[in-house]
């Protein structure tokens, strides 16, 4: 067994922190894993006194690891819980317990008085799962509160019966969602082709999204990629091949978009190239927005716009001055519109004054784009100025959406003004939607406000 496995438990890290810091936060004595480990002094004595130099070096190497682990345990007990970086570093040391150390920590629980609580519960659950994965038949200790996490316990029990589950899935038996997840994630790690074949045999083509996330790394194996693609094309004939491939290539795209792009240039991938190149452009822009901006110049259509869309948002958050410079160099009207709209709302959230200064430097039409994109934030910072500008906008879907923002803003503050704005919505269905939004912000007990808002539906 690999002692560095990670449990599929939300919050295990925080739980372990709470468990070993229990004494720090509540004043009670928490189970101390350090107390269950063999004395370091004895190990040190054996390591230094041995007559075998090679053995001494081995002992010292193991001893260093043991000392580091002991320090990690002590850090768990003494670190301020608000210092998350230090806490995570200590947790990292804890999760590198060997099987022997996990077993000793488990045995150390037996002499402890159970103290329930979120951290203690998850800590006990972690050790129980470690013992289970070592093949031990042990029960979840009572009294620590771990028994409340029945779904996690059942998931771990299911994992212990993986071979039987595989046989059932391959035979076409219906498995529960948790069972399918465990079978697919375990199988794709061992043999992606086998996982995809089993998945496609037991899943309707249109239902691929239910399980595809558990096979996100399937296309990373170059030696199996062609066979996997052949199986997917057969399975999704007439279906959504690009959608299925996109989900199975998700992790590969995030890790190495350049390699995916090169693969997509193969003639055999022509049927999925356009759809996946959008994902590649998005991945590049997320990690290296400036380089992706330049790289995307050779793209066309959706791929180019996706790179500009994501790149503009990333630049607004990370390098706004460079983003303004790059937007200024765009000449195509559609590209400029895409970049301006996606840059504006992020910049306004990051630096409202900077957004105003940049917006005021734009041509009139693009200034309106920037205003519309940042309107929800603008209303909450300077509602008067935002409303003055909105009054100048022509009727249409864009204006109605911004009126909806004002409806949210005024519903609880000033229902009369809210009602007036609702009346400006020309489309009857949109007006009714706005009334529903306003009422949800008022609540069921303020009848006067309710009547005022309902009056906005009068023709």
The H or E element that residue 120 is part of is helix 118-133
Distance CA 314, CA 292 (A): 11
Which residues, 6 or more positions from 328, have their beta carbon under 8 angstroms from its beta carbon? Answer: none
Distance CA 247, CA 253 (A): 10
Rounded to 5 degrees, what are φ and ψ at 329?
Answer: -90, -5
Which residues, 6 or more positions from 323, have their beta carbon under 8 angstroms from its beta carbon? Answer: 289, 312, 315, 316, 343, 347
| Rg of the chain, C-alpha, whole Å | 30
Domain boundaries, the chain: 12-159, 272-375, 394-459
User: How confident is the model at residue 122, as a pLDDT?
Assistant: 73
Q: Would you write out the chain's pLDDT as a tens digit for each of its 459 residues?
A: 434 333 433 334 444 434 443 433 333 444 433 343 333 333 323 333 334 444 444 444 454 555 444 444 444 444 555 666 765 676 666 678 888 888 887 888 877 888 776 666 777 888 888 888 888 889 998 888 888 888 788 778 777 778 888 888 888 777 888 888 888 988 898 899 999 999 999 899 999 999 999 998 899 999 999 999 999 999 999 999 999 999 999 999 999 999 999 999 999 999 999 999 999 999 999 989 999 999 999 888 999 999 999 999 999 999 999 999 999 999 999 999 999 999 999 999 999 999 999 999 999 999 999 999 999 999 999 999 999 999 999 988 899 999 999 988 998 888 899 999 998 888 888 888 888 888 887 777 778 888 888 887 765
Question: How many other CB atoms sit within 10 Å of the CB of residue 244?
Answer: 23
| Helices 333-350/301-318 angle, 10° precision | 30
DSSP conformational letter for 268: G
User: How confident is the model at residue 87, as a pLDDT?
Assistant: 58
DSSP conformational letter for 30: P
DSSP string, 347-369: HHHH-HHHHHHHHHTS-HHHHHH
| Cβ proximity of 408 and 441 under 8 Å | yes
User: How confident is the model at residue 294, as a pLDDT?
Assistant: 92
DSSP conformational letter for 413: T
User: How confident is the model at residue 57, as a pLDDT?
Assistant: 42
* Dihedral sign from CA coordinates of 216, 219, 223, 226: positive
Distance CA 121, CA 148 (A): 8
- For the record, the structure tokens of 299 come out as 């793209």
- For the record, the structure tokens of 228 come out as 């996997």
| Cβ proximity of 140 and 112 under 8 Å | no
Nearest to 211 by CA among 194, 219, 220, 199: 199
CA angle 377, 378, 379 (to 5 degrees): 90
Instruction: Count Cα atoms within 13 angstroms, Cβ side, for 381.
Output: 14
pTM of the model: 0.61
The length of the chain is: 459
User: For 268-300, where are the alpha helices, taking DSSP H only?
Assistant: 270-287, 289-295
Distance CA 323, CA 96 (A): 43
Which residues, 6 or more positions from 51, have their beta carbon under 8 angstroms from its beta carbon? Answer: none
Distance CA 48, CA 356 (A): 69
Nearest to 16 by CA among 109, 87, 101, 103: 87
How far the first Cα of the chain sits from its last, in Å, is 72
Between the alpha carbon of residue 89 and those of residues 85, 93, 123, 274, the distances in Å are 6, 7, 17, 42
Distance CA 268, CA 270 (A): 6
Distance CA 277, CA 190 (A): 28
Question: How many other CB atoms sit within 10 Å of the CB of residue 444?
Answer: 8
DSSP string, 138-202: -PPPTTSSGGG-HHHHHHHHHHTTHHHHHHHHHTT----HHHHHHHHHHHHHH-HHHHHHHHHHT
| Cβ proximity of 455 and 419 under 8 Å | yes
b vs e for 10-25, b when ≥16 Cβ sit within 10 Å of the residue's Cβ?
eebbbbbbbbbbbebe
């Amino acid at each position: 067994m690999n002692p560095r496995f990670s449990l599929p438990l939300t919050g295990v890290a925080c739980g372990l922190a709470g468990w070993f810091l229990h004494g720090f936060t509540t004043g009670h004595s928490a189970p101390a894993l350090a107390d269950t480990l063999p004395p370091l002094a004895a190990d040190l004595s054996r390591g230094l006194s041995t007559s075998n130099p090679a053995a001494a070096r081995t002992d010292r190497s193991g001893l260093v690891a043991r000392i580091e682990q002991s320090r990690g345990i002590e850090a768990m007990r003494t670190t301020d819980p608000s210092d998350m970086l230090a806490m995570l570093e200590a947790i990292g040391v804890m999760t590198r317990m060997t099987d022997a150390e996990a077993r000793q920590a488990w045995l150390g629980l037996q002499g402890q008085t159970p103290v329930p609580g979120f951290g203690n519960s998850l800590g006990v659950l972690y050790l129980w799962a470690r013992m289970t994965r070592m093949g031990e038949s042990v029960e979840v200790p009572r009294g620590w509160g771990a028994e409340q996490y029945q779904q996690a316990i059942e998931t771990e029990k299911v994992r212990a019966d993986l071979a039987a589950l595989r046989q059932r899935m391959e035979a076409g038996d219906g498995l529960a969602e948790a069972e399918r997840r465990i079978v697919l994630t375990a199988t794709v790690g061992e043999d992606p082709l086998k996982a995809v074949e089993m998945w496609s045999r037991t899943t309707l083509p249109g239902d691929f999204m239910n399980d595809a996330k558990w096979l996100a790394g399937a296309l990373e194996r170059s030696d199996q990629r062609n066979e996997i693609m052949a199986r997917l094309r057969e399975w999704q004939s007439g279906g959504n091949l690009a959608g299925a491939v996109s989900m199975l290539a998700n992790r590969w795209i995030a890790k190495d978009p350049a390699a995916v792009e090169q693969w997509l240039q193969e003639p055999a991938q022509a049927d999925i190239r356009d759809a996946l190149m959008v994902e590649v452009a998005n991945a590049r822009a997320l990690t290296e927005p400036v380089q992706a901006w330049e790289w995307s110049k050779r793209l066309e259509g959706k791929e180019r716009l996706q790179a500009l869309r994501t790149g503009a948002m990333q630049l607004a958050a990370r390098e706004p001055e460079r983003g303004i410079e790059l937007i200024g160099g765009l000449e195509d009207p559609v590209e400029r519109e895409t970049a301006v709209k996606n840059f504006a709302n992020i910049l306004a959230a990051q630096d409202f004054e900077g957004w105003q200064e940049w917006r005021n430097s734009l041509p009139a039409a693009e200034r309106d784009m920037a205003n519309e994109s940042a309107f929800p934030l603008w209303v909450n910072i300077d509602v008067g100025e935002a409303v003055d500008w909105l009054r100048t906008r022509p009727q249409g879907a864009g204006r109605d959406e911004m009126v909806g923002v004002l409806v949210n803003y005024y519903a609880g503050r000033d229902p009369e003004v809210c009602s007036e704005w609702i009346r400006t919505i020309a489309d009857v269905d949109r007006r009714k939607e706005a009334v529903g939004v306003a009422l949800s912000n008022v609540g069921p007990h303020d009848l006067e406000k309710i009547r005022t808002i309902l009056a906005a539906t009068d023709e």
